[in-house]
Amino acid sequence: MSSSPYPHLLHPLDLGYTRLRNRVIMGSMHTGLEEAPGGLARMAAFFAERARGQAGLIVSGGFAPNAAGRLGLGDHAPGANGFEQHAAVTRAVHAEGGHILLQVLHGGRYSKHADCVAPSAVKSPINSFAPRAMTREEIVETIEDYAKTALAARRVGYDGVEIMGSEGYLLTQFFAPRTNRREDEWGGSYENRARFPLAVVRRTRELCGRDFIIMYRISMLDLVDGGNPWDEIVALAKQMEVAGATLLNTGIGWHEARVPTIMHSVPRGAFAWITQRMKREVAIPVVASNRINNPAQAEALIASGACDLVSLARPFLADPDFVAKAMAGRAAEINTCIACNQACLDRIFVGQVATCMVNPRACREREFAAAPPARAKRLAVVGGGPGGLAFAVTAAEQGHKVTLYEASDRLGGQFNMAMAIPGKEDYRETIRYHAARLDRLGVEVRLNTRPRPEALRQDGVEDVVLATGVVPRRPAIEGIDHPKVLTYVQVLWDRKPVGRRVAIVGAGGVGFDVAEFLTHADGPGDPASPDIDRFLADWGVDRGFALPGALKAEGPRMRSAREIWLLQRKPDRMGATLGKSTGWAIRAALQQKGLQMLAGVGYRRIDDAGLHISVGGEDRTLAVDNVVICAGQESLAAGKAELEAAGLRVHVIGGAREAKELDAMRAIEEAVRLARL
Ligand code: NAP
Ligand code: SF4
């Protein structure tokens, strides 16, 4: 073993016919490149960059084995014409010394089209299309389609396949009584329900030969009623080993499960315990997944015997050089995935190609191809929030001489408030990453400083980037100056004390964040030592696996430290602006904790009695100790005219340019694009 801090993580895995250079798998993730015009060429550049960054094994997004298994709008069935173009993807990865698997995924009743099929005609609660039950002939043909797809993958250079047997897709649908109501040899007993997934792996091995990786992703926790009991999952895993699986990957939760499995509020490594339990049962290498986002954590998981390899998907969007930086002892410079889902899953859900909030280059590697500037300039950045930081780092990487000015005593801007929210602790990692990069790149950082235009001019600065962000909006409500009124900045940044009964004015992302913050008696935790037991108890997940699916009969159990009303004027559904992949869980947790959400509210006044409102034609008084204002923001771009008067070229980005619907994703992307001009 090497003398690196990550000896287990960086140790190769010898499979006999091939050798993976380390234990880090870039897990499968649908990026939208699968079906985008020119997507395979973009995918080749995307994966090549991750292979260059020393990913041990890459797994593609899901490709269906036949037309019925397509997940949605036009994604390829690889038997279709053009599959040979995948050779460009595999060549690009191999040229960088990497290995790559094609993921074969049949959507079953999750497929969003009228021809979707499933073991039984049982509709999914998250799909408007109802499936048709497969005939026995179709089952046999589909097994063959899986194996032929794997063979086609082999012919275009893939080192193997991942067969997707989790997350509630077709193979899971066959295995679980929840969705398999068949009375023939493909349903009923364990043997009958396991027959289809086992036949898929067996036939794939038969057709593709021994020197071909087959990773089976098994649903270790279904997190739905009618899921599989643990003894059946173990039995299937053992039979998969005999059927020819090379590696066993962890799948957690069906897509219709009402337990979050990857978003920010899921603690790091929240499900590694189930992988550890499985590892005792099988001899083939086992892979842990879900919320593994840094090398120290990954190393500890392997060293402790929880798993043999780790699978990270989104962290490779955030930083293609995750492994290379770990190898070089530069882990502090890893741009950490903060599990926000904003630029990856939330974009996929609306039919856009994924990218990453903290790394806008992800999936656009060719668009952002390195083009060194004609000449290095002296630049000043005013504002050390996410936009200013991203600009300073990218511009310095381009060779410019950059000085960063921040008026407060700390870097990070609004992210300092985000990371105060329990469950969003990882936001601090974005600040840590930028600070480490600024240091390495020699960017001068001046805290508690507002630059004087003349001094900048004298220093030879040519361009100034104003990334001064936003200030909270102060709504014109009678009594807004009452001492019980606080802004969200006073709550989250200044940590002013807040009483037990609270009304929140405004229900955008910040209003929901403040509500979550106030439901906790304690502040944020340390993301490196997360309280996994508390998370599992909150969401009703049973480590003891008393019931199939591993859910507790009594369901989630959460309590709030305060009585809270969250208010908005619009009559719309509350939380409509939250992310699609996270909003349901944010709302569900707060509802569990008794949060009262009122839409269509009119604000009348604030006084000693509390907040007076009208709602549904009635006047009400909320007898609260505090009213927290989360009513959006206004731009803060003061000083532009003075800078210009001093002869400086000024660029305004992020919230300072446009506060409406600002989020860090836009601020960072604007910054990175400007810095690369
Ligand atoms: P926001 O999303 O614009 O929400 C502002 C809220 O204040 C709205 O509910 C609005 O609803 C209310 N409001 C606006 N003007 C008001 C007025 N004059 N009087 C009373 N109420 C007023 O702003 P935000 O919550 O500050 O979020 C800012 C940005 O950060 C957003 O783009 C957001 O998506 C992003 N963010 C996202 C997350 C996340 O979890 N994804 C978390 C934090 C922030 P009514 O007008 O109906 O009352
Ligand atoms: Fe991670 Fe957010 Fe980037 Fe997605 S957008 S990869 S969740 S940091």
pLDDT tens-digit series, residues 272-324: 999 999 999 999 999 999 999 999 999 999 999 999 999 999 999 999 999 99
What is the pLDDT at residue 81? 58
For residue 337, which ligand has an atom nearest its CA? 2
Distance from C-alpha of 106 to C-alpha of 352, rounded to nearest angstrom = 21
pLDDT, residue 78, reads 56
Residue 184 in tokens: 């023939």
182 pLDDT higher than 80: yes
The pLDDT of residue 677:
67
- Looking at residue 411, what is its pLDDT? 98
- Note the pLDDT of residue 75: 58
Return mean pLDDT, the chain.
Answer: 95
Query: Rounded to the nearest whole angstrom, what is the distance from the C-alpha of residue 178 to the centroid of ligand 2?
Result: 32
CA 584 to chain centroid:
15
pLDDT for the residue numbered 25: 98
CA of 598 to the centre of ligand 1 (A): 15
- pLDDT band with cut points at 50, 70 and 90 for residue 35: confident
Q: Of 109, 130, 121, nearest to 255 (Cα)?
A: 109
| Structure tokens, 86 | 């995948």
Residue 80 has pLDDT above 70, yes or no: no
Residues 6+ apart with CB under 8 A from 470: 414, 633, 634, 635, 636, 655, 656, 659, 662
Domains annotated on the chain, with CATH: 13-332 (3.20.20.70), 378-471+634-675 (3.40.50.720), 474-521+561-631 (3.50.50.60)
Q: Whose Cα sits closest to atom 6 in ligand 2?
A: 314
Q: Which pair of tokens denotes residue 30?
A: 């649908």
pTM higher than 0.75: yes
Residue reference for tokens 């063959």: 144
pLDDT at 621 over 60: yes
pLDDT at 368 (0 to 100): 82
Determine contact, residues 63/77, Cβ cutoff 8 Å. yes
Sort strands 618-622 and 610-615 into parallel, antiparallel or unpaired.
Answer: antiparallel
The answer to whether the beta carbons of residues 94 and 18 sit under 8 Å apart is no
Q: Which residues are catalytic?
A: 169
The residue whose CB lies within 8 Å of the most ligand 2 atoms, and thus the one to mutate among 46, 263, 344, 582, is: 344
pLDDT tens profile 191-245: 999 999 999 999 999 999 999 999 999 999 999 999 999 999 999 999 999 999 9
- Range with the lowest mean pLDDT among 78-82, 95-99, 201-205, 245-249? 78-82
CA of 357 to the centre of ligand 2 (A): 6
**Amino acid letter, 379:** L
- Exposed/middle/buried for 144, CB within 10 Å: 0-12, 13-18, 19+? middle
Q: Which atom from ligand 1 is nearest to the alpha carbon of 568?
A: 48
Tokens of 338: 């903060």
> What residue spans of 264-321 are helical by DSSP H?
272-279, 295-303, 314-318
Pocket of ligand 2 (CB under 6 A): 314, 317-318, 337-344, 356-358
